[in-house]
Amino acid sequence: MEPGEIHALLGENGAGKSTLMNVLYGLYQPDEGEILVDGKPLKLKGPSDAIGAGIGMVHQHFMLVPVFTVTENIMLGAEQVRGGIAGFLDRRRARREVAEVSERYNLRVDPDAVIEDLPVGIQQRVEIVKALTRDVDLLILDEPTAVLTPQETEELLTVMRSLKAAGKSIVFITHKLGEVKAIADRITVIRRGKTVGTASPEASRDELAALMVGRNVRLTVDKAPATPGEPVLEVAGLVVDDDRQIRAVDGIDLTVRAGEVLGVAGVQGNGQTELIEAIMGLRPVLAGTVSLAGDRIDGWKPKKVLRAGVGYVPEDRSVDGLVKEFSVAENLVLDIYDRPPFGSGLALKPDAIAASAKERIEQFDVRTSSADTAVGTLSGGNQQKVIVARELSRPLKLFIAAQPTRGVDVGSIEFIHSQIIRERDIGTAVLVVSSELDEVIGLADRIAVMYRGRIIGIVGPDTPREEIGLLMAGISPDAAHEATAATGEGPANADGSASEDEA
């Protein structure tokens, strides 16, 4: 690393990027090897040593205490105190310091705001200010854009440029190629815990992707135009609360036709989870109706919904999709274990289960040592393939896939995407929810954008990314359209994100 350099660390999920940086930040201890700062080896016993050495980190999951104010979060661990041993907090001085730093780097934060009331983009800003008040020279940003809208991302990149101008070095960890190309001075690609190459930002997307995954991959999904048929899923006026009894879905109308993929885009936490769970019968419907091929299914138990011909890939496979301790074969029949040929009366039929498992493991390319292996020991991509295999083995009218490729390697992504399109082509209605905009654009025949529990617009898949981005930030379709038309190329404009901040 050089001073004033932005160094991108590029790699797939699970390639070891975050682990490397956690070692650098002193959270994990290295088994072997050493870290050199200014030519001298550095021993880090914990994060405080790293901070002392001028290394700061913004973690992927923010390290902020939700019930503390901005100032309290920033002063924690490096408190200014008065009164000797009693250690009274000098809040005034801390607040002044926060104001100073945010002024100097143009990172506006309200020092007295409580973290849990702030939008994610601002929370991230607080994290950066926190690192800067500790006088770091090297700032590590771990997947900083995963939770941001395209506009917030753009603003973050601006902040990174100004930090660079101030002589700070930045390590930027990501798996998003576009951002790397936009900002990095140097790119290091790692795969399976090893550095596989360095590249300059002039390298093409395809070259970088190939380095990342080790072979050439297609970034787009191959598919024929859809031939939509009768409406299969009809949602009207749906209202659902989240776990905290706060309105999450606020009057949604939605139709998915046979033979089409409807993609739901949106920043995470805008009601997508609750929408899907309500359709599946996992969450009470407070108002409105859900119909499947003409039958009202709201109020049905999940089992009944599944048996009516709905396939469901839940967004968190380890919690809702699989029983980790069970074998692959057992997980493959979780939906119909009590029906022939897998069960009769009180008994299971192990032979039938094993035979079917063998067949499906082959068909869906699940890489496992045997059908009896516990599913929890498989890689993320193979776990996901087990779920997809199970759900697509029933005759379906509707297939719902939530975050179908989260934490899944590129090879498996390709396979899962092709399975989803194959299901569409045999006439199933498909609903895909994903926080990866590229995935939604690649798969969907129509895209519904969710914002604060409402569908703010439904657009075609060839809509410009920037326009969808504005929709994701809650800017209504007409305004979004005008905005992109007016500025020509759109997203770099600061206004869209600024209004999101104030919201």
Partner 1 sequence: MSTMAVPDIAVAPVDEGFWTRSRKVGLTLLGLGLLAAVLFGALATDQQARFTLSDDAAGAALEINGTIGAILFGIITIAAGAALLAGVPKRWFLPVLGVGLVGFVLSFLCWQVSAAPAGQNFMPLVNIIRGTFILALPLIFGALAGVLCERSGVVNVAIEGQLLMGAFSGALFGSISGSVWVGLVAAAIGGALISLLLAVFAIRYLVDQVVMGIVLNLLAIGVTGFLYERLMQTDAEKYNSAPRFSNWEIPLLKDIPVLGPALFRGNIFLYLGLLLVLVIHIGLFRTRWGLRTRSVGEHPIAADTLGVKVLRVRYRNVLLAGVVAGIGGASYTLALYSFTKNMIGGKGFIALAALIFGRWNPTGALLAALFFGFADQLATYLGAISSSIPSQFLAMLPYLATILAVAGLVGRVRAPAADGKPYIKG
**Site map for partner 1, 475-494, x if CB under 8 A?**
xx--x--xx--xx-----xx
Query: Which of 5, 14, 16, 79 contacts partner 1 by CB under 8 A?
Result: 79
Nearer to partner 1, 224 or 246 (CB): 246
Nearer to partner 1, 67 or 426 (CB): 67
The Cα 370–Cα 296 span in angstroms is 41
Which residues lie closer than 8 Å to 289 by C-beta, 6 or more apart?
A: 234, 235, 236, 237, 238, 296, 298
**Site map for partner 1, 243-262, x if CB under 8 A?**
---xx--x------------
- Give me the least distance between CB of 215 and partner 1, in Å please: 33
Q: Does 474 bind partner 1 (CB under 8 A)?
A: yes
Q: Return the amino acid letter for 266.
A: G
**Site map for partner 1, 24-53, x if CB under 8 A?**
-x-xx-----------------xxx--x--
Q: Does 284 bind partner 1 (CB under 8 A)?
A: no
Nearer to partner 1, 381 or 453 (CB): 453
Q: Does 109 bind partner 1 (CB under 8 A)?
A: no
Which residues lie closer than 8 Å to 291 by C-beta, 6 or more apart?
A: 233, 234, 235, 236, 297
Q: Does 286 bind partner 1 (CB under 8 A)?
A: no
Query: Which of 37, 42, 89, 336 contacts partner 1 by CB under 8 A?
Result: 89
Q: Does 86 bind partner 1 (CB under 8 A)?
A: yes
- Give me the least distance between CB of 470 and partner 1, in Å please: 9
Q: Does 112 bind partner 1 (CB under 8 A)?
A: no
* H or E segment to which residue 8 belongs: strand 6-10
The Cα 265–Cα 267 span in angstroms is 7
Give the residue among 274, 382, 383 at the shortest CA–CA distance from 318: 383
Strand partners, 313: 401
Give the residue among 26, 19, 28, 21 at the shortest CA–CA distance from 7: 21
Q: Return the amino acid letter for 327.
A: S
Give the residue among 496, 446, 441 at the shortest CA–CA distance from 471: 496
- Give me the least distance between CB of 80 and partner 1, in Å please: 9
Nearer to partner 1, 88 or 337 (CB): 88
Query: Which of 77, 229, 237, 376 contacts partner 1 by CB under 8 A?
Result: 77
Q: Does 495 bind partner 1 (CB under 8 A)?
A: yes
Query: Which of 9, 44, 57, 441 contacts partner 1 by CB under 8 A?
Result: 57
The Cα 238–Cα 478 span in angstroms is 24
Give the residue among 327, 311, 308, 315 at the shortest CA–CA distance from 275: 315
Give the residue among 153, 61, 159 at the shortest CA–CA distance from 105: 159
- Give me the least distance between CB of 366 and partner 1, in Å please: 30
Q: What is the DSSP string of 61-119?
A: S----TTSBHHHHHHTTS--EESGGG-EE-HHHHHHHHHHHHHHTT----TTSBGGGS-
**SS3 label, residue 447:** strand
Query: Which of 64, 132, 353, 396 contacts partner 1 by CB under 8 A?
Result: 64
Contact footprint for partner 1 (CB under 8 A)? 25, 27-28, 46-48, 51, 57, 59, 62-68, 72-73, 75-79, 81, 86-89, 246-247, 250, 452-454, 474-476, 479, 482-483, 486-487, 493-496, 499-500, 503
